[in-house]
Chain A
């Protein structure tokens, strides 16, 4: 049992405010991802839970107990840093045994053996105990490093960007490896990353942090489909979500949207129209992902938006076409066989059922079509 609670956690370095009143509860056995850009306060938060930094204000609680002044060694917290440093001259068995043999624990060899066999069986590395780290694959090494942290049954497992130092190709495999053995952790885990794929893949829940403040907490589906503001929407997805200014036009019960510098009025899905009937918001931003826009050299409907091809970039199994619509750049994902000349005319079509509406001024989330069923649909495996 280990529930982590952070209340009003605040930290200032000289004049730079690293954390501003952070409140966060991590449930027992939950895998929580702390996700945000560089300098957001992710690692500072982690260090406070580990006891390596002290808050100026606020409380750190483990299982309801305030641990602010408990030294790191007595918190029973296990921290995994960016590289999984294993002792190269020790076998897998001795690597995993090393924390339990330390002066702090001094467990009996009998106890150690039992604990190692249990953990290594769970992580499917029990056939590798005699090997040296150099005789292991990357995935096996990761498992050994994590096994070494888990063997002493920490209350909390803290992971600080463990995959960040890997190249993109290896990261893809190691993330899958990590996810495969996630179920065997059985320990409350806080995982820090600035990679949205890691956040979406691994987190039971994701807490988004920016400039020392928690911006949104939710499942990957919640954050992806209903980001609480444009900042969060911009963090998820490649290429970044398009933000297009628009205006809500009301004509009696008829509610439609007009895009900036366009005359055409577009119908809204009924639930979205309903939302705008209930308020008087006019200035909005439309968040549209590159997957939810299509384009064609011919006008396909009267609703098509005319623009020009700014640039077309093939990037493998797909291409990114950047359309220039009256100075507004719209990035569209197209098939990699799609070929079109720069500056030629193009017609852009959007599916309004996929658009996320934000308030223009506050940049806060307003509404999207079908939001409840989208969020519920695919809870992460």
Chain B
């Protein structure tokens, strides 16, 4: 099996502004096992090490420590051209004097592939990327979306073992981005080439990836399917990073109430019940970080435990409505598609969906698990 395997990979830039202190790793002990044919997204804020990782796989950066291999072949010391990797970066870098056909053919000709085979390959690839009508055009007459299609066509025409995409859609406007996103997804299904995409756009990563790796400060935070990461974030960073609008993340004090517990918020008289499953791991007076997505906050009934809370802001946004409850300098937000209507000052009881209520350790940010 030609899986892509990263084992304890480190990267340190010496004599580089990026590393202010010794042992400041751009990539710190990264291990990833990507199955053959998988579509993997690497996602994180700028400076998290995602592009460095991609560049090490491509052979554009030295590897400070650890191994990168495809199947049994260790890539560390192979020249980029010997790694059988297709690259498509954010800027298209097409050769302006060459037409689309010659741009796509360029690397194959450099490898002395016969014109006959080149022609055959281009005829096969061009329709997949919808550039078959553009083969005679020069890059200057192409739109951004078309240039990126040609760019990707050029990367896959060599039938690489691995396709690397670095922010391929970030230059494009909203609609074109959506169209090309769909097409990349379909293309991947067609060619079944192991693909890694690096992006800062979480919608892009979630919609394309079979699995995503979330990175921060060079360290892998979580590796899983988009839904696993969305529903069960490993720590507070991942919880806050993934999801749009963001998860509510608030500091709460646990207070005992009868048999169960309540979350007490920064506004002292605001109390909402703690899902029962947390009873064994919590103590009276404990402080934790509460994480709950706005769509998992529900309007309760009169009988719901806890206090009623005051609506600070009501927004009617067409498809959905948002209620914001003031908590100190922050808001607790509820989003629903129900056709409800409230005014500021109205009071309601709130509940959190039990399975979707996350607690994180105040110090480490790690998720507090109930088992």
Are B186's CB and A139's CB within 8 A?
no
Interface residues of A in 332-362 (CB under 8 A from B): 336-337, 342
Q: Within the complex, what minimum Cβ distance (angstroms) separates B242 from chain A?
A: 7
Q: Does A8 contact B (CB under 8 A)?
A: no
Interface residues of B in 220-237 (CB under 8 A from A): 226-227, 230
On chain B, the residues within 8 Å of A140 by CB distance are: 329
On chain A, the residues within 8 Å of B337 by CB distance are: 291
Contact of B316 among A176, A183, A315, A381 (CB under 8 A): A381
A 213-250 binary contact with B (CB < 8 Å = 1; else 0): 00000001100100000000000110110000000000
* B328 (CB) vs chain A CBs: closest residue: A137
Q: Does A172 contact B (CB under 8 A)?
A: yes
CA distance A236 to B341 in the complex (A): 20
CA distance A168 to B241 in the complex (A): 11
Are B314's CB and A381's CB within 8 A?
yes
- Of A59-67, A68-76, A156-164, A306-314, the one touching chain B: A306-314
Interface residues of A in 173-192 (CB under 8 A from B): 173, 175-176, 179-180, 183
> Which positions in A face B, CB cutoff 8 Å?
137, 139-140, 168-169, 172-173, 175-176, 179-180, 183, 196-197, 200-201, 220-221, 224, 236-237, 239-240, 289, 291, 310-311, 313-317, 320, 322, 336-337, 342, 377-378, 380-381
CA distance A168 to B207 in the complex (A): 18
B 315-346 binary contact with A (CB < 8 Å = 1; else 0): 11111001010100111010001010111100
* A223 (CB) vs chain B CBs: closest residue: B318
On chain A, the residues within 8 Å of B189 by CB distance are: 342
Q: Is the interface of B mostly helix, strand, loop or mixed?
A: mixed
Are A313's CB and B207's CB within 8 A?
yes
Q: Does B181 contact A (CB under 8 A)?
A: yes
Contacts A140-B329, A169-B245, A176-B324 given; does A311 touch B186 at CB 8 Å: yes
Q: Does B293 contact A (CB under 8 A)?
A: yes
> Which positions in B face A, CB cutoff 8 Å?
175, 178, 181-182, 185-186, 189, 203, 206-208, 226-227, 230, 242-246, 293, 295, 312-319, 322, 324, 326, 329-331, 333, 337, 339, 341-344
Q: Within the complex, what minimum Cβ distance (angstroms) separates B356 from chain A?
A: 10
On chain A, the residues within 8 Å of B227 by CB distance are: 314, 336-337
CA distance A316 to B201 in the complex (A): 13
Are B329's CB and A137's CB within 8 A?
yes
On chain A, the residues within 8 Å of B329 by CB distance are: 137, 139-140
Q: Within the complex, what minimum Cβ distance (angstroms) separates A318 from chain B?
A: 9
Are A179's CB and B206's CB within 8 A?
no
Q: Within the complex, what minimum Cβ distance (angstroms) separates B258 from chain A?
A: 32
On chain A, the residues within 8 Å of B242 by CB distance are: 316
Are B182's CB and A180's CB within 8 A?
no
A and B contact pairs by CB, cutoff 8 A, 30 listed:
A168-B244, A169-B244, A169-B245, A172-B333, A173-B331, A176-B331, A179-B313, A200-B316, A201-B315, A201-B317, A220-B318, A239-B178, A289-B319, A291-B319, A291-B337, A311-B182, A313-B206, A315-B207, A317-B230, A322-B182, A336-B227, A337-B227, A342-B185, A342-B186, A342-B189, A377-B339, A377-B341, A378-B341, A380-B316, A381-B314
Are A316's CB and B230's CB within 8 A?
yes
Q: Within the complex, what minimum Cβ distance (angstroms) separates A296 from chain B?
A: 19
CA distance A322 to B178 in the complex (A): 11
Q: Within the complex, what minimum Cβ distance (angstroms) separates B45 from chain A?
A: 10
Are B230's CB and A336's CB within 8 A?
yes
Are B339's CB and A381's CB within 8 A?
no
Contacts A237-B318, A311-B182 given; does A180 touch B344 at CB 8 Å: yes
